[in-house]
Amino acid sequence: MKVYRQTSLGLEGLQQFDEPNPPSPAGRQVLMRVRASSLNFRDLLSLKNGIPAQYIVNAGRFPLCDGAGEVVAVGRGVTRVKPGEHVAAIFHWDWIAGPIPYSLNTYGRGTKGNDGMLAELALVDESELVLLPEHLSFEEGATLPCAGVTAWYALHGDTPLVPGEDVLVEGTGGVSVFALQFAKISGARVIATTTSPAKMETLRALGADVVIDASRGPGWYKEVLAATHGRGVDVTVEVGGPANWDDAVAATRENGRISMVGALGGRDKAMSFEFMIRGLHLHPTRVGSRLHFEQMNRAMEYHGMRPVIDRIFDFDEVPAAFEYFEHGKQAGKVVIRHG
């Protein structure tokens, strides 16, 4: 089978190899033919420069946490899936349901914990798989494990979104676009910001009720307040980092919720006097559990929702895909087709 291994830090260390296929599955193991994978910002951090440290790929491992494909063979103890079914692997293989386990491996698939999905075949435990919504392609399914489940958890994980609430999303990256889509199918009103005026129409086409040009710098929160009659949004999905933090806080109503996605820093501002006195609730958001993944899939299937794919690269074009992704011009997900 063809695989990519991270032999050293930097994109030049991402090398393709021909290797023997994995052994036949035993016990509760499942052999999965990976048909597609997708890129996330944490993958770029890990491969490009190893920052933050917890995302560094161990030398020789397969990168990427996102992958979808079909079941090829199963061990004798497998009961959850069967050959031919279309599946995706979960991000946190040790978080099935319920509260976040104390022992959770926060590194996720394809980093220090275990091999990722950048291979033609993967051998995984049956507990690590979910069935894909029937209406999705492998390429669409490959976008779900990290960005999709993160966006779902940001809106429904701790305090579920209520129909009629106002939601603020920032930009056109994978998590933000998923959050926009999930908010709309949940009956919310969505206000979206972008620093690229050219993408304003894209956000409107995806269903955003109000689109704000944030390219002029700080102060865009005033337009959010104007669009909410001075009240502010109920939920902010914050992906912009310290440069956006003051606006995000000012745009959120008193006692509102801010779901902070990723290792964005700015924690000194998060505990500012304004943040505390207005009673804002901060939810550091991570990728959710297998149960969250399954709940998300049911919602997508019911509403016929499809992920937004910006561009698809072939398996031999993985370095080029990372270079494209690094420029941050995409609207939606960047996908690798494995063949």
Tokens of 261: 């996605």
Read off the pLDDT of residues 113-162 as tens digits, 9 standing for 90 and up: 678 999 999 999 999 999 999 999 999 999 999 999 999 999 998 899 99
Over residues 29-61, the pLDDT tens digits come to 999 999 999 999 888 887 776 555 555 666 667
Distance of CA 328 to the CA centre of its chain: 15
What pLDDT is recorded for position 266?
45
Q: What angle do CA 316, 178, 132 make, to 5 degrees?
A: 65
Structure tokens, 131: 């069935």
Residues 150 and 287: beta-carbon distance below 8 Å: yes
Q: What is the pLDDT of residue 26?
A: 98
Which of 130, 142, 57 lies closest to 90, judged by CA? 130
Residue ranges and CATH numbers for the domains of the chain are 2-145+288-337 (3.90.180.10), 150-284 (3.40.50.720)
> Closest Cα partner for 41 from 288, 306, 263?
263
Q: What is the pLDDT of residue 284?
A: 85
Query: Tell me: the pLDDT tens digits for 16-28?
Result: 999 999 999 999 9
CB 182 within 8 A of CB 158: no
Residue 264 has pLDDT above 60, yes or no: no
**Spatial separation of the C-alpha atoms in residues 176 and 103, rounded to whole Å:** 29
Which range (27-41, 112-126, 201-215, 290-304) has the least confidence?
A: 112-126
